[in-house]
Amino acid sequence: MDCNPRLLLFILHLLMSCVVPAFLTIYPPNEVNLLDSKASQGELGWISYPSHGWEEISGVDEHYTPIRTFQVCNVMEYSQNNWLRTNWIPRQSAQKIYVELKFTLRDCNSIPLVLGTCKETFNLLYLETDDDQGSHFREHQFLKIDTIAADESFTQTDLGDRILKLNTEVREVGPLSKKGFYLAFQDVGACVALVSVRVYFKKCPQTVRNLASFRDTVPIDSQSLVEVPGLCVNNSKEEEPPRMYCSTEGEWLVPIGKCLCNPGYEERSSTCQMCREGFYKSTHGNMECSKCPPHSFSHHEGSLHCGCEKNYFRAEGDPASMACTRPPSAPRNVISSINETSVILDWSWPEDTGGRRDITFNVLCKRCRGTAANVSTSGTLHCEPCRSNVRFLPRATGLHNTTVTVGDLLAHTNYTFEIEAQNGVSPLAFKMRQYAAVTITTNQAAPSPVTVIRKEKTSRNSVSLSWQEPDRPNGIILDYEIKYYEKEEQETSYTILRARGCNVTLNGLKPNTAYLLQIRARTAAGYGATSPSFQFETSPDSFSISSENSQVVLIAISCAVAIILVTVLLYVLIGRFCCRSKSKHPDEKRLHFGNGHLRLPGIRTYVDPHTYEDPSQAVHEFAKELEASGIAIDKVVGAGEFGEVCSGRLKLPSKKEICVAIKTLKGGYTDKQRRDFLAEASIMGQFDHPNIIRLEGVVTRSKPVMIVTEYMENGSLDSFLRKHDAQFTGIQLVGMLRGIASGMKYLSDMGYVHRDLAARNILVNSNLVCKVSDFGLSRVLEDDPEAAYTTRGGKIPIRWTAPEAIAYRKFTSASDAWSYGIVLWEVMSYGERPYWEMSNQDVIKAVDEGYRLPPPMDCPATLYQLMLDCWQKERNNRPKFEQIVSILDKLIRNPCSLKITANTTSRPANLLLDRSSAEVPSVGTMGDWMDAMRTLPCKEAFSGVSYSSCDTLAKTSTEDLKKVGVTIAGPQKKIVSSLKALESHTKNGPVPV
């Protein structure tokens, strides 16, 4: 085979041009080239010595871009020493340089007939100089960098195989100190082609990290890192000084510190850019700009915060991320319950809280001239701020709860309370102030206690005392009650005296004995609180009775006592006989002993007008005769037992007009009808209480005969509740119930039994104040509590009446308490009919067997317990109205207690469940029940519902109903009641469980 080296070289050359690898022309950004042989299009002009050694050859790379290569292959000849020297390369800022060689090298074994001179390495050398020395070249000046061997040498020359391997070797050189250097390649007999030579140094390229920009940095020496400070990009601020380290490998390491975009700017592609319209950023930081919160806007780029829409505000301290808010609307449903000279105001949260939770309430008190009724007619009252000594509990402003108690008001005075809801932005929008107002008239109040008592004169058997009138009499003092007893006897027996003036002499006292005494004043409003106990002692005996005389004295005393007793007995008998035959007068002073309760002379007692021989006398005794010309009838509002009920206006002597209700007696009446009609006025006229309908007067001297009462804007309670099903808060309902109980307490204190207490006989005014009305059926209690008055055949409202009153006409305040329990049930069920459509006979039977109405839906457990207490079979176990008022007052003071509902607590076993509701027909089968349900307003909710058994159906709760879309309380109630009925029916058949 021909082994001519020239031929080999040619082959090599051919191969070279075909196998030039894909040279990368894009270098890493941290490498800065000082020399790149590939980049040169023309001759490189390197020095080759001797001239037949290294040869410069033109070729093309894979992209057919011309490149310059050097090759040598004098393998057939001995003692080769071929040098190739680059041009002078300026060092620039580099201290350490890298030399990257790409070359091919022929495996000596694969060259046939070589004479043992073939080498497989070549040497890389360098020479530092401060200037270009041109063609001046001295071998010995060069320092060796390394001997370069091929990782892969090629063996085949067959062109078809194309197995030439390109080697890449990189060598570091440095530190360099002179301005430039040369590289040299020494061949000592190898077959090598130097395809490319690249000389570069490394640097850390300019970069932005954590919004700080770092400049191009060249590492200083091979050991240490270079610390480089960063500069915050535009529109950003240094949070912590930014720094980074540049490694000798040209890599940035350990970024420390950072910059934050200014307010109004956000980070985008390592820069701080302005927030877009509709967005804002209020703080430094690298978070994104936020969208403007509700009710705010930003019309510019780079907004720090968003402005509020009209009528919306941001309170100081509201974060920029919070929606703009507005003042709340006025509180709703204000109710007032007046107790003498104090009033409890309750209200509901405003419908619109303005988007905030920091709601508080302020109550402004104004004292007004004119009457509350005047407000509705003339629309104005002359008001001035209340006196500073009016007491607010807990306080007047900044209230967090929806209730306040206002005390120390003047008796018989009109007040207006403005209740305003405020939130954090209210001070910014004072023009948008909205408040709810309620106008009330305080009642009479009992006098304050007597505090100063003096002893004037003392003897063996008597003492004279005087005292000062109470500080706050709150009206004209009718008399004083003086109670005294021997100190040692501890009040087990005591004596009561009354005095009109401020002094009294107590006679018949034991000598040398200590007594305790208490005084209380009485006005038309009743007794005030008792004074603290006052102690006095009688003088000692001046003589003692001898034992001989004692028997005589004892006999004499016994005789005297006997005579007195006989006289008193006769007096009582004669008195009783006279009373029966005489008509009674309201001011008549009587002693009542009933239920252990002592009613003392002077306490106003109800007088039954039927006991008057001439009933018209009773009317004029208790009711004011009005001029018909002063009454204007506006419209008919309903029908009463004796004629129409109208609304109208009454002109008062002061020329002011007030709204009134007018009951008329229809024409063609009998004498008895007239008497019975006017009896109601005679009864009503005796009462004066904020929860009893007030009689304005009667018209009896002209026709039609009329009874004129105050006007109650919301009509009767039962229809009012049905109209406003599920619309009141628990506390409002309790407020109404408290009013009714307070009115009933007043009636029972006066000895009056209503007999027809039911929601339909309670009237409601515009302030939700409930007043007891309808005194038609009522009768007075006789003095003896055991002697119940018996009606002759009158109609009895069975569902509302206590069993003993139905069975043997035992009407008492305790039977009124039973009716109150039914009213309580009516109120809590928003006007549901008690016992639904059960017949009267079934009701009597069920109640007699011990069954009771179930708790209305969502009824607080305490109220249901109160109902059950009112429905005690044993009437003495039922609560007195005074106790009912106090229970309800406690509930009002502690509204949280209303949250526990009877439906969730254990219920008594004797609940009467509805079997035959009017709207939910009696249930036969499951299918019937479902059909019945589908007639309700929420039928769609049921159309897709299927229940596997009556059991699951009957366990359905209000929550379950809400889930299927029945959200209105009315239908919910009916459905739940019906479900109970179904449960009862399926478990027990048609008999109540």
Residues that bind ligand ACK (CB under 6 A): 637-638, 640, 645, 661, 693, 709, 711-712, 715-716, 719, 763
**Do 102 and 168 touch, CB atoms closer than 8 A?**
yes
* Alpha-carbon gap, residue 235 to 245, rounded angstroms: 24
With a CB cutoff of 8 Å and minimum separation 6, the contacts of 494 are: 483, 484, 485
Kindly state the smallest distance separating residue 763's Cβ from ligand ACK, in Å: 5
C-alpha dist (Å) from residue 603 to 479, 588, 723, 743: 11, 10, 41, 17
Which 3 state secondary structure label does DSSP give 224?
A: coil
Q: Which is nearer to ligand ACK, 299 or 723 (CB)?
A: 723
Kindly state the smallest distance separating residue 703's Cβ from ligand ACK, in Å: 21
Q: What angle do CA 330, 331, 336 make, to 5 degrees?
A: 130
Residue given tokens 């050991």 in the structure block? 223
Among 12, 119, 14, residue whose Cα is nearest residue 75: 119
> Which residue's CB atom is positioned nearest to ligand ACK?
638
Q: Which is nearer to ligand ACK, 772 or 805 (CB)?
A: 772
**Do 759 and 721 touch, CB atoms closer than 8 A?**
yes
**Backbone phi, psi, residue 561, to 5°:** -60, -45
Q: Is the peptide bond before 219 cis (omega within 30 degrees of 0)?
A: no
Q: Which is nearer to ligand ACK, 320 or 712 (CB)?
A: 712
> What pairing do the DSSP bridges indicate for beta strands 236-246 and 252-261?
antiparallel
Handedness of CA 287, 291, 292, 295 (dihedral sign): negative
Q: Which is nearer to ligand ACK, 320 or 747 (CB)?
A: 747
Measured in residues, the chain has a length of 993
Q: Is the peptide bond before 854 cis (omega within 30 degrees of 0)?
A: no
Kindly state the smallest distance separating residue 685's Cβ from ligand ACK, in Å: 14
Q: Is 913 exposed, middle or buried (0-12, 13-18, 19+ CB in 10 A)?
A: buried
Q: Which amino acid is at 356?
A: R
Q: How many CB atoms lie within 10 A of CB 924?
A: 12
Kindly state the smallest distance separating residue 639's Cβ from ligand ACK, in Å: 6
Look at phi and psi of residue 944 and say left if phi exceeds 0, alpha if psi is from -120 to 50, else beta.
alpha
Among 798, 808, 878, residue whose Cα is nearest residue 846: 798
* Alpha-carbon gap, residue 933 to 881, rounded angstroms: 40
Among 982, 855, 418, residue whose Cα is nearest residue 406: 418
Quick one: how far is CA 719 from the chain centroid? 31
Kindly state the smallest distance separating residue 643's Cβ from ligand ACK, in Å: 10
* Alpha-carbon gap, residue 659 to 651, rounded angstroms: 9
Q: Which amino acid is at 976?
A: V
Q: Would you state the structure tokens that stand for residue 237, as one six-digit string? A: 């601020």
Q: Which amino acid is at 590?
A: R
Tally: H helices and E strands in the chain: 17, 51
* Alpha-carbon gap, residue 162 to 738, rounded angstroms: 110
Quick one: how far is CA 791 from the chain centroid? 53
With a CB cutoff of 8 Å and minimum separation 6, the contacts of 874 are: none
* Alpha-carbon gap, residue 232 to 259, rounded angstroms: 6
Kindly state the smallest distance separating residue 449's Cβ from ligand ACK, in Å: 37
Kindly state the smallest distance separating residue 693's Cβ from ligand ACK, in Å: 6
CA atoms within 13 A on the CB side of 673: 13
* Alpha-carbon gap, residue 683 to 609, rounded angstroms: 7
Kindly state the smallest distance separating residue 745's Cβ from ligand ACK, in Å: 21
Kindly state the smallest distance separating residue 662's Cβ from ligand ACK, in Å: 9
**Do 698 and 678 touch, CB atoms closer than 8 A?**
yes
* Alpha-carbon gap, residue 274 to 257, rounded angstroms: 23
CB burial readout 342-351, b (16+ within 10 A) else e: bbbbbbbbbe
Which 3 state secondary structure label does DSSP give 673?
A: helix
Kindly state the smallest distance separating residue 618's Cβ from ligand ACK, in Å: 21
CA atoms within 13 A on the CB side of 540: 3
Q: Which is nearer to ligand ACK, 712 or 847 (CB)?
A: 712
Kindly state the smallest distance separating residue 452's Cβ from ligand ACK, in Å: 46
Kindly state the smallest distance separating residue 607's Cβ from ligand ACK, in Å: 23
**Active-site choice (187, 676, 749, 756):** 756
Residue given tokens 């009920």 in the structure block? 645
Kindly state the smallest distance separating residue 578's Cβ from ligand ACK, in Å: 39
Among 881, 879, 876, residue whose Cα is nearest residue 594: 876
Q: Active-site residue 408, yes or no?
A: no
Question: Annotated active-site positions, please?
Answer: 756
